[in-house]
Chain A
Amino acid sequence: MLGYRIKLAAVALPLLALTVSAIQAKADETRLLLTGSSTIAPIAEEIAHLYEEKNQDVRIDIQTGGSTKGVIDQRRGLNDIAMVSRRLKPSESDLTAHTFALDGLAMIVHEDNAVEDLSSDDIRAIYTRKKTDWSDFGDDGGEIIIINKSEGRATLDLFLDHFGLIPPDIKPHMVIGENEQGIKAVAGNRSAIGYVAISTAFYDAEHGVAIKLVGLDGVLATVENVANGSYPAIRQLNLVTAGEVSKTTQAFLDFAQSEAVHEILDTFHVVAPSR
Chain B
Amino acid sequence: MSWPQAAERRAGQGAADRWLAALLWAAALFSSGIVFVIVSTVAVEAIPFLREIGLTRLVSDEGWYPTYGRFQMTAMLIGSLVVAAGACVLALPAGVVSAVYLAFYAGRWSGRIYQRLLEILAGIPSVVLGFWGLTTVVPLIAKVEQPGTSLLAASFVLTLMILPTVALIAFARIAAVPDAYYRGAIGLGFSRWQAIRQVVLPAARPGIATGCILAFARALGETMAVVMVAGNIVQVPTSVFQPVRTLSANIALEVGYAMDVHRSSLFASATILVLAVLVIFAVGRWVAREDAHV
Binding site for B on A (CB under 8 A): 65-69, 71-72, 142-143, 145, 150-153, 166-168, 172-175, 177, 188-189, 191-192
Contact = CB atoms under 8 A, between A and B. Distances in A.
Lowest 6 CB-CB distances: which A-B pairs, in order? A69-B257, A68-B257, A66-B257, A152-B257, A65-B256, A167-B65
A151 B65 contact: yes
B258 interface: yes
A4 B231 CA distance: 55
B74 interface: no
Given A150-B254, A174-B149, A167 B232 contact: no
Contacts of B245: 175
Nearest to A63: B256
Contacts, number: 68
Interface residues of B, number: 26
B146 interface: yes
Interface of B: 62-63, 65-68, 70, 139, 142, 146-149, 231-234, 243, 245, 253-254, 256-259, 262
B147 A174 contact: yes
B283 to A, nearest CB: 33
Chain B contact residues, majority secondary structure: loop
B254 A174 contact: no
B142 A189 contact: yes
B34 to A, nearest CB: 20
Contacts of A67: 257
A189 B145 CA distance: 12
A173 B241 CA distance: 11
A66 B256 contact: yes
Given A167-B65, A168-B70, A145 B147 contact: yes
Most buried by B among A142, A166, A175: A175
A66 B258 CA distance: 10
Given A68-B257, A166-B68, A175 B232 contact: yes
Nearest to A148: B233
